[in-house]
């Protein structure tokens, strides 16, 4: 979808429909009242606005008649005025987007004035509205032989104002466009099936992003990964025909600034390996690279704006397959850190490639390490499918992640990193084993990773096993790959 700015008198806002907001039990918001002007009484008299009652999720369609710049208004209910927040705004806008789509309106306008008087910070409201509108209309139909015709979807969203946008508003539009591009990139990567989205394919996508924005990009194959001493990473891909890759992207390789390291789990398909998963939901394991996709999305979004903090992305990409060369339960691998790991369960593979990627990232003396991973089913059991677990060894970093998630509507919940649980990871044959007891599985996985984080480095582990994939559409999230984490990390980095 194309987002563009148009500065013109309201009479020239010639889109197919304008979005305005209405509150419950209160017929007009200031923006809508001002726009309707002397026509307000007639429209109110028609009862169309009263019908929708301003309820959140409902949208009234108003025909504005002769002479108006735009023939329709989508009056999106926002609920109770005193309860308005960014989340409700995103939902209201997503409802307007759904309405525009069912009416097959190609071009929709959002007057900046529609966002005034809502009690929200104006630039933030603008950014969230644009993201909510655009992301809720995402679709993946690259592999359909007869995709829905382009015209059936809104393809233009115009940001409308009568006078020049403020600097903050302009920035909000640019940031929204960057975030949207990043999330779309991540969703496309996740939704692409694993027979196409192999490690080599995803590495190529990362190379393209790096080339587009002038980042440094190193791509290593299976042999190089083994030679570097990443035995745990190697243990994951040993059974796979599609060759693994390690991708390292640096957004400012010549800078003296310590980077923020982003590490993303990129298991292009997780069969479980020799500890084979049951077939029922196995197809969803094409999304086991949701962490890697999120990091790719952050790189894309960051590249579209003037440089922020230096990012070092470390992305291990591998397929977890059974086979005669695959790792057996009980095998011992030597990690890049030198620690030996007994692999009790080959389905706990994420922590194996992540531990080596974290050690690798640590060598760059980063000012923080943030890893994103569809790591454990246990985290989904604990927090449900829409919330990510946040495991963090640093209070300041933890706050930043929680706040950024809250701003953009990606919820995180703090989880513990108890050293008490390290005992459960002791192995008879090696320094560590890769699984503890089933109970508290998400915590045990996080405590495993913690053994590989350099001392005194702030580190956040985001277990996105639940929200990386949506069984059903909700809020601005479409069914399938969600691109969860892109907007949180983007927002975190912009405000670093
Ligand atoms: N990729 C899975 C975790 C997962 C589960 C992601 C459901 C998304 C939805 C991970 O590799 C895995 O299989 N974890 C095991 C760990 C166990 C063997 C200790 C799990 O969660 O069951
Ligand atoms: Zn697994
Ligand atoms: Zn996995």
Pick the atom of ligand 1 nearest to 287's CA. 8
pLDDT at 65: 73
What residues sit around ligand 2, an ion, with C-beta below 5 angstroms?
Answer: 270, 347, 349
Q: Are residues 335 and 191 in the same domain?
A: yes
pLDDT at 27: 63
Using a 10 angstrom Cβ sphere, with 0-12 exposed, 13-18 middle and 19 or more buried, the burial of residue 365 is exposed
Query: Is the pLDDT assigned to residue 284 strictly greater than 80?
Result: yes
**Ligand 1, atom 7: closest residue by C-alpha:** 377
Rounded distance, CA 341 to CA 330, Å? 10
343 and 331 Cβ atoms separated by less than 8 Å: yes
Rounded distance, CA 21 to CA 29, Å? 7
Please check whether residue 448 lies inside any domain of the structure: yes
Which tens digit of pLDDT belongs to each residue from 111-163?
999 999 899 999 999 999 999 999 999 999 999 999 888 777 899 999 999 99
Which tens digit of pLDDT belongs to each residue from 230-256?
999 999 999 999 999 999 999 999 999
Beta bridge partners of 245: 317
Q: Are residues 134 and 222 in the same domain?
A: no
Site to probe by mutation for ligand 1, drawn from 377, 461, 464 as the one with most ligand atoms within 8 Å of Cβ, is: 377
Q: Cα–Cα–Cα angle for 80, 85, 89, nearest 5°?
A: 85
Site to probe by mutation for ligand 1, drawn from 347, 462, 484 as the one with most ligand atoms within 8 Å of Cβ, is: 347
For the segment 196-217, the average pLDDT, to the nearest whole number, is 98
Which tens digit of pLDDT belongs to each residue from 368-422?
999 999 999 999 999 999 999 999 999 999 999 999 999 999 999 999 999 999 9
Q: Are residues 152 and 184 in the same domain?
A: no
- C-alpha 441, offset from chain centre: 24
Query: Is the pLDDT assigned to residue 438 strictly greater than 90?
Result: yes
CATH code for position 147: 3.40.220.10
Q: What proportion of the chain, given as a percentage, has pLDDT over 90?
A: 90
Q: Are residues 247 and 106 in the same domain?
A: no
For the segment 35-43, the average pLDDT, to the nearest whole number, is 81
The sign one gets for the Cα dihedral 248, 250, 253, 259 is: negative
Rounded distance, CA 425 to CA 351, Å? 13
Query: Is the pLDDT assigned to residue 290 strictly greater than 80?
Result: yes
Q: Are residues 189 and 101 in the same domain?
A: no
What DSSP character marks residue 276? P
CATH code for position 288: 3.40.630.10
Among 126, 161, 196, which residue terminates a domain? 161
Q: Are residues 149 and 193 in the same domain?
A: no
Among 161, 190, 214, which residue terminates a domain? 161
SS3 for 204? Answer: helix
Q: Are residues 346 and 447 in the same domain?
A: yes
- The shares of helix, strand and coil residues in the chain, as percent rounded to the nearest 5, are 40, 20, 40
Q: Are residues 75 and 200 in the same domain?
A: no
Rounded distance, CA 234 to CA 362, Å? 19
Give the ranges where 254-394 is alpha helix by DSSP (H).
Answer: 290-303, 350-362, 377-383
Roughly how many angstroms between the first and final C-alpha of the chain, as a whole number? 29
Please check whether residue 170 lies inside any domain of the structure: no
Rounded distance, CA 478 to CA 470, Å? 7
Q: Which of 9-18, 58-67, 214-223, 248-257 has the least mean pLDDT? A: 58-67
Which tens digit of pLDDT belongs to each residue from 310-325?
999 999 999 999 999 9
330 Ramachandran zone, left/alpha/beta (phi>0; psi -120 to 50): left
Q: Domain range for residue 92?
A: 2-161
Rounded distance, CA 130 to CA 280, Å? 37
451 and 434 Cβ atoms separated by less than 8 Å: no
Please check whether residue 415 lies inside any domain of the structure: yes
Query: Is the pLDDT assigned to residue 427 strictly greater than 80?
Result: yes
Active site residues: 277, 351
What DSSP character marks residue 59? E
Centre of ligand 2 from the C-alpha of residue 57, in Å: 38
Centre of ligand 2 from the C-alpha of residue 476, in Å: 28
Q: Are residues 199 and 117 in the same domain?
A: no
**For the chain, what is the mean pLDDT?**
96
Rounded distance, CA 231 to CA 189, Å? 27
Site to probe by mutation for ligand 1, drawn from 265, 278, 344, 376 as the one with most ligand atoms within 8 Å of Cβ, is: 376
Give the binding-site residues of ligand 1, using a 6 Å CB cut-off: 270, 288, 345, 347-350, 374-378, 380, 435, 441, 465
Please check whether residue 135 lies inside any domain of the structure: yes
More confident position, 429 or 62: 429
Please check whether residue 169 lies inside any domain of the structure: no
For the segment 207-236, the average pLDDT, to the nearest whole number, is 98
pLDDT at 67: 66
Which tens digit of pLDDT belongs to each residue from 45-75?
777 777 778 899 999 999 887 667 899 999 9
Please check whether residue 166 lies inside any domain of the structure: no
**Ligand 1, atom 5: closest residue by C-alpha:** 377
Q: Which of 9-13, 52-56, 348-352, 450-454 has the least mean pLDDT? A: 52-56
Question: How many domains, in total, are found in the chain?
Answer: 2
Please check whether residue 339 lies inside any domain of the structure: yes
Q: Are residues 349 and 267 in the same domain?
A: yes
Pick the atom of ligand 1 nearest to 376's CA. 21
pLDDT at 45: 74
Centre of ligand 2 from the C-alpha of residue 110, in Å: 44
Q: Are residues 146 and 267 in the same domain?
A: no
Query: Is the pLDDT assigned to residue 199 strictly greater than 90?
Result: yes
List of residues 6+ apart from 356 with CB closer than 8 A: 230, 231, 232, 233, 316, 335, 336, 337, 452
Closest CA to 129 of 62, 200, 192, 180: 180
Q: Are residues 210 and 72 in the same domain?
A: no
For the segment 178-206, the average pLDDT, to the nearest whole number, is 98
Query: Is the pLDDT assigned to residue 44 strictly greater than 80?
Result: no
pTM: predicted TM-score of the whole model, two decimal places: 0.97
Please check whether residue 174 lies inside any domain of the structure: no
What DSSP character marks residue 427? -
């Amino acid at each position: 979808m194309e987002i563009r700015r148009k500065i013109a008198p309201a009479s020239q806002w010639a889109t197919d429909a304008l979005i305005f907001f209405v509150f419950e039990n209160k017929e007009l918001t200031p923006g809508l009242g001002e726009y309707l002007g002397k026509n307000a009484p007639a429209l109110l008299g028609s009862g169309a606005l009263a019908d929708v009652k301003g309820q959140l999720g409902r949208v009234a369609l108003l025909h504005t008649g002769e002479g108006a710049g735009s023939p329709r208004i989508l009056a999106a209910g926002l609920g109770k005025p005193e309860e308005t927040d960014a989340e409700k705004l995103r939902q209201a806008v997503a409802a307007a987007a759904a309405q525009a789509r069912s009416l097959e309106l190609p071009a929709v306008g959002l007057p900046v004035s529609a966002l005034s008087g809502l009690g929200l910070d104006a630039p933030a409201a603008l950014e969230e509205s644009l993201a909510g509108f655009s992301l809720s209309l995402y679709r993946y139909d690259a592999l359909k032989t007869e995709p829905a015709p382009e015209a059936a979807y809104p393809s233009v969203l115009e940001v409308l104002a009568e006078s020049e946008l403020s600097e903050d508003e302009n920035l909000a539009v640019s940031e929204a466009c960057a975030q949207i591009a990043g999330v779309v990139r991540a969703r496309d990567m996740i939704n692409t099936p694993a027979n196409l989205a192999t490690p080599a394919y995803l590495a190529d996508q990362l190379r393209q992003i790096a080339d587009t924005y002038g980042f440094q990009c190193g791509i290593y194959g299976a042999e190089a990964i083994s030679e570097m001493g990443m035995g745990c990473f190697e243990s994951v891909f040993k059974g796979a025909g599609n060759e693994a890759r390690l991708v390292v992207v640096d957004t400012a390789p010549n800078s003296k600034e310590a980077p923020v390291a982003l590490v993303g789990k990129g298991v292009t398909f997780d069969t479980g390996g020799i500890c084979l998963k049951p077939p029922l939901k196995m197809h969803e394991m094409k999304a086991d690279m949701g962490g890697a996709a999120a990091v790719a999305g952050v790189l894309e979004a960051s590249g579209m704006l003037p440089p922020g903090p230096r990012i070092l992305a470390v992305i291990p990409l591998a397929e977890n397959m059974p086979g005669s060369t695959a790792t057996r339960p009980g095998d011992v691998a030597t990690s890049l850190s030198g620690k030996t790991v007994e692999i009790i369960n080959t389905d706990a593979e994420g922590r194996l490639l992540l531990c080596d990627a974290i050690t690798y990232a640590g060598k760059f003396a980063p000012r923080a390490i943030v890893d994103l991973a569809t790591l454990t089913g246990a985290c989904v059991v604990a927090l449900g499918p829409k919330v990510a677990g946040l495991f963090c060894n640093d209070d300041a970093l933890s706050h930043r992640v929680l706040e950024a998630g809250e701003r953009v509507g990606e919820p995180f919940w703090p989880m513990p990193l108890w050293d008490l649980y390290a005992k459960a990871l002791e192995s008879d044959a090696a320094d560590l084993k890769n699984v503890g007891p089933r109970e508290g599985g998400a915590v045990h996985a996080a405590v495993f990773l913690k053994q590989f984080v350099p001392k005194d480095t702030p580190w956040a582990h985001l277990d996105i096993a639940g929200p990386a994939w949506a069984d059903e559409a909700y809020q601005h999230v479409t069914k399938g790959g969600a691109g969860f984490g892109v907007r949180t990390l983007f927002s975190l980095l912009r405000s670093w």
